[in-house]
Amino acid sequence: MMIRIYAIGFLVMGAGLSAAPKESVPSPPPPMPQANEVSIFRGRSIDIPLRAVGRAPKTLKFLIRSGPASGTLGPIRSTGLKSAVVTYTHSDSSGDGKDTFTYAVQGLGTPVSAPAKVGIQISEEPPALSVVHALDFGTVMLGETKEEEIRIQNAGGGLLTGEMTVPSPWKILGSPSYRLKRHQERKVRLLFAPEEEREYRHRLGFSHDARSVVELVGGATAPFAFDPPAEIALEASGTDPIRAATLRIRNLTAADRTIELDPPEGLQVKETLFLPAGAEEEIHLQTKNDFPDSHDGLLNLTSEGFRRTISLRVFARQALLAFVPEDHLDFGKIEPGRRYKLALAVKNIGGSDARLQGSVPPDIQLLPPPDSLVLAPDETRVFEVALESRKLGAYRDLIEIGVEGRPSRKVSVTATVGGGSPTAAKVSTAALAPKGSPSSGHGTPPETPPEAANAPIPAIENFTLRVLSERAVDVVWARPPGDVSGYLIEQRTLEVVPGGPPKILWKERRGMKFLDEGELSIARFENLAPGQTWFMRVRAIAPDGRLSPPSPTFRMVSPLPPRGFGPRTVFVILFLVLAGFVGRWIYRRRQAGAAREAVRLSRLEKDA
């Protein structure tokens, strides 16, 4: 029953509904776009995101409702259900400031949304330098130049100002200052003018930013090869006052070249040299007759912008000795055991000082000793050559005198000892000896030569002996007043004369060293035999060869070797003896202990 009632009710309601008028369903609300703010540099482009909020079962459609005033928009590109992106490009001519545009969104079956605003802040970007990082000029021939061009640009905005700097051998052609507006550029020319044959690496700098540089690279090579390359030495040959040298020049270029030579005054060389391409030539340089003994100067060479300076060193003429007589001293007939004298004049006819060295045989004495002398150019020194020989018959030997470091000249000395009346005569040295040179005679000197009234140097009076070692002794004296060029030490010897008293002779002592300590002069005797005694005297030698009066005779004794044992030696001996006794006592104790141990072991074996 109840079921029927319900069924009737439903039928009635359905009839009522079907009879009611039809109504439309309302559309869903559209998603809403989001406003945005972005910043951009003038003249640049930027991707601006577009977003919406709200229900979006499918991809939304983005619509530009109003465009920008100072730029352009590209096509809208979808990036998601509710997002997209559009590219904004600012117009460079519009300047900085602000720009805007609006956009809306529309979903499927929805109306278009209200527009949203996108604000664009446009600003001027800072200046930015655009330039190459490096510039290679290659290899340039000395005397020539090379130009290269670079472009500098303000790749940013604003105003780029400053000044360019570059070290030598580069140079900026034109103004080094720059003032570049936005995107403005300028061409700069650089000149490379090297002056030395080498590789160059420097930097072109910009004052607005120390980090902005251009690396500059270049090399230089000479158009000529010189031999010698840096210094020419002009030397003399023998006594010739002219000093000469050669310079070899080779043209390394593929073109004919002309070289101008500018020597110092007094030097002779061709002023102009023509060298074909690849050719080589040798030029001669020489001094004039009146050129100074030594000189340092410069030889300047120029050729089509190329310049080279070569040092010149003109050396003085070498020292050269001339002898009178030239190579032979003949004493003639002489008596045995007697002293005879001749003169030997030596002149330095070279151009530099001559430090003499010499050697003489045992029977000959040369005064002054040549080893202590220095002859200036054109200076003459007269030596006294004394001969005393006891060997009968023909005498022949050699005197050697030369310049230190070079071979010596030899002068032969001959004589006939005994066999007739003496015939030795003085050799004339007028050709070389200056006025006032002492003459030399022959004969036997007395024991003590007389003190000349016009002696150039007074006699040496006082001596001090210093013992250096068992075999070395120093004889010290005060340097006498006057011009002293050396010293002569004479040693006293006794000659036995049959039927008469011994004869005292003074002979030159050699082999010692002469030293100076302030106002003191020292004669150092080395390699002496211990415990020996010598009687000696000293004479000073003047530059003209004259001798001072002899000094008082002094006695020199070489030290004796040490005798006996000193305290240290005695202590060492006692220590060694004591150590021997202690060692022997320890040894004997060990031996006794070993014997006792052997006896104990033997007893134990017997008991077992």
Most confident of 289-293, 370-374, 439-443, 485-489: 485-489
**Average pLDDT over every residue of 368-383:** 85
d(CA 80, CA 126): 36
pLDDT in tens, 521-552: 999 988 887 777 888 899 998 887 788 899 98
Q: Which amino acid, 328?
A: H
Percent of the chain with pLDDT over 70: 85
The 3 state secondary structure assigned to 202-251 is: EEEEECCEEEEEEEEEEEEECCEEEECCCEEEEEECCCCCCEEEEEEEEE
User: What single DSSP character describes residue 372?
Assistant: G
Q: Any idea which of 2-16, 227-241, 243-257 has the lowest mean pLDDT?
A: 2-16
Per-residue pLDDT tens over the stretch 80-130:
888 999 999 998 777 778 999 999 998 877 888 899 999 999 988 889 999
Could you tell me the pLDDT band of residue 434, with boundaries at 50, 70 and 90?
A: very low
2-11, 22-31, 193-202: range with lowest mean pLDDT? 2-11
d(CA 502, CA 368): 28
Q: What is the pLDDT of residue 357?
A: 87
CB 545 within 8 A of CB 367: yes
- What integer pLDDT is reported at residue 438 of this predicted model? 36
450 has pLDDT over 50: no
Second CATH level (architecture) for the domain 464-557? Sandwich (2.60)
Beta bridge partners of 332: none
CATH 1.20.120.340 assigned to 32-123: no
Give the tens place of pLDDT for each residue, 27-57. 667 789 999 999 998 888 999 999 998 877 7
Q: Are 447 and 532 in contact (CB under 8 A)?
A: no
224-314 is a CATH 2.60.40.10 domain: yes
**Arch. (CATH architecture) of 321-417:** Sandwich (2.60)
Domain segments of the chain as ranges: 32-123, 129-221, 224-314, 321-417, 464-557
pLDDT for the residue numbered 363? 87
Q: What is the mean pLDDT of the chain?
A: 82
With 0-12 / 13-18 / 19 or more C-beta atoms within 10 angstroms meaning exposed / middle / buried, residue 539 is buried
Per residue in 319-365, pLDDT (tens digit) is: 888 888 888 888 888 888 888 888 888 988 877 788 898 888 888 88
- Compute the Cα dihedral for 316, 318, 319, 325 and give only its sign: negative
Amino acid at position 410, single letter: K
Q: Assign 244 a pLDDT band (cuts: 50, 70, 90).
A: confident
Q: Above 50 in pLDDT, residue 581?
A: yes
Domains 129-221 and 321-417 share a fold: yes
The reported pLDDT for the residue numbered 484 is 86
Residue pair 180/208 in contact (Cβ under 8 Å)? The answer is no
C-alpha radius of gyration, the chain, whole number: 58
CB-based contact 314:266 (threshold 8 Å): no
CA angle 185, 189, 192 (to 5 degrees): 150
User: What pLDDT is recorded for position 497?
Assistant: 61
Amino acid identity, position 469: S
pLDDT above 90 for 151: yes
Strand partners, 144: none
Query: Among 19-23, 332-336, 575-579, where is mean pLDDT lowest?
Result: 19-23
The predicted structure's pLDDT at residue 66: 93
CATH superfamily, domain at 129-221: Immunoglobulins (2.60.40.10)
Query: pTM for the full model?
Result: 0.46
Other beta carbons less than 10 A from residue 454's beta carbon: 5
Listed in sequence order, the residues at least 6 apart from 335 whose beta carbon sits closer than 8 Å to its beta carbon are: 417, 418, 422
Q: Is the pLDDT of residue 507 over 80?
A: yes
Q: What is the DSSP letter of 371?
A: G
User: Percent of the chain scored above 90 by pLDDT?
Assistant: 25
Q: Is 426:342 a contact under the CB 8 Å cutoff?
A: yes
- 193 and 145 Cβ atoms separated by less than 8 Å: yes
Task: Dump pLDDT digits (tens) for 170-219.
Answer: 999 999 999 999 889 999 999 999 988 889 999 999 999 889 999 999 99
Q: What is the pLDDT of residue 20?
A: 45
Cis peptide before 169 (omega within 30 of 0): yes
Q: How, if at all, do strands 134-141 and 209-221 pair?
A: parallel
pLDDT at residue 358, as a whole number: 87
Sign of the C-alpha dihedral computed for residues 173, 177, 179 and 185 taken in this order: positive
CA–CA gap between residue 391 and residue 249 (Å, rounded): 66
Please classify residue 554 by burial: count the beta carbons closer than 10 Å to its beta carbon, then call 0-12 exposed, 13-18 middle and 19+ buried: middle
* Strand 340-348 with 380-387, pairing: antiparallel
Q: Which two structure tokens, joined as six digits, stand for 564?
A: 């006996």
